[in-house]
Amino acid sequence: MLDSKALESIPLVPANTADPAPNHPWPKPYTSAMFLSFDVDAESAWTSKDAGHAQRLITMSYGGYEARVGTPKLLELLDQLDLKATFFVTGWSVDAHPAMAESILKAGHEIGHHGYHHLLPDPGDPWIEEELERGFEALKRRLGVKPTGYRAPYGELTEELRVALVHHGIVYTSSFRDDVRPYRHRLADGKPGTIELPVTASYDDWMHGLSARFSPRSIFPKEHVLSMWKDELDEVRDWGAMVTTVLHPQCSGRPMRLRLLREFLTYVKSCPDVWITTGEKIAENFLRHEAGSRSAVP
């Protein structure tokens, strides 16, 4: 039923009041960028929907694939292609699979914050701060890492969370779907927020590879996804902008999906104008230009 009271309370302003994304150049010789990133949820992808899944062993095994096969295979692929990426890892995954988390770090990739239990936040949720702190604590205790990047579990943020991220020293977030270049958030009180590295929705592998355990639709074949991914990239290259991947080892680490990713990344590597890099590097480039420096990180 239409809730007219709730509709009346919607503010008549854009939900995101950030200034337009500045046209900061990419480091020479690049004229566009790919933020290569993975979300490591492991079993917390499933327990965050229903804690009771912890006792459902086959449901849990979808997430368990990440530590047993998916992540090692992706690390192997990145090593073969000589690429560095950002892995947003839930604190639960780090605690439950410390060897997997350590292998990501040891391979020289950036580790980002992805919540602890991968919970979907709603305004006023009492656990928001605790979930954030537990995530930081697990990354520090197990890996000695203080992350500068944060990707919201389920790609959702509330204002309380956005403010808390700044207080905790997070430099960049990567969850919004509203741009093709990095921009600086503006908090509700007018203060500056994190740098946003916007996500490219078509590069979320769950959309095409596995959207639910009991998905009502079939997954898409390689040719279908490759065609979308290449078109998205090629147009963004013409725009001088960036794309951001949201890949999951329990999806892109599956044999057929890995084959697709190998072919796609090999194509991206063949484009000399595309800077394939981590969120940390893109945020550094943004900060340098924001500070007025003309130099860009190599």
Return the number of the residue (41 or 280) whose C-beta is nearest Zn ion: 41
Return the number of the residue (116 or 286) whose C-beta is nearest Zn ion: 116
Q: What are the b/e assignments for 184-220, b being 16+ CB within 10 Å?
A: bbebeeeeebbbbbbbbebbbbbbbbbeeeeeeeebe
Asked if 165 contacts 194 with a C-beta cutoff of 8 angstroms, the reply is yes
Return the number of the residue (40 or 105) whose C-beta is nearest Zn ion: 40
Selected range binding Zn ion among 18-26, 37-45, 127-135, 233-241, rule: CB under 5 A:
37-45
Return the number of the residue (206 or 220) whose C-beta is nearest Zn ion: 206
- Per CB under 5 A, does 284 bind Zn ion? no
Phi-psi region of 108 (alpha: psi -120 to 50; beta: other; left: phi over 0): left
- Per CB under 5 A, does 39 bind Zn ion? yes
Q: What is the DSSP code (8-state) at residue 216?
A: S
Selected range binding Zn ion among 40-48, 78-86, 94-102, 263-271, rule: CB under 5 A:
40-48
Least Å distance between CB 66 and Zn ion? 11
Q: How far is the C-alpha of 117 from the C-alpha of 97, rounded, in Å? A: 14
Selected range binding Zn ion among 32-40, 63-71, 257-265, 276-284, rule: CB under 5 A:
32-40
- Per CB under 5 A, does 205 bind Zn ion? no
Least Å distance between CB 155 and Zn ion? 8
Return the residue of 26, 30, 41, 242 that touches Zn ion, per CB under 5 A.
41
The gap between the terminal CA atoms of the chain, to the nearest Å, is 55
Return the number of the residue (90 or 194) whose C-beta is nearest Zn ion: 90
Q: How many residues bind Zn ion (CB under 5 A)?
A: 2
Return the number of the residue (39 or 196) whose C-beta is nearest Zn ion: 39
| Residues near Zn ion (CB under 5 A) | 39, 41
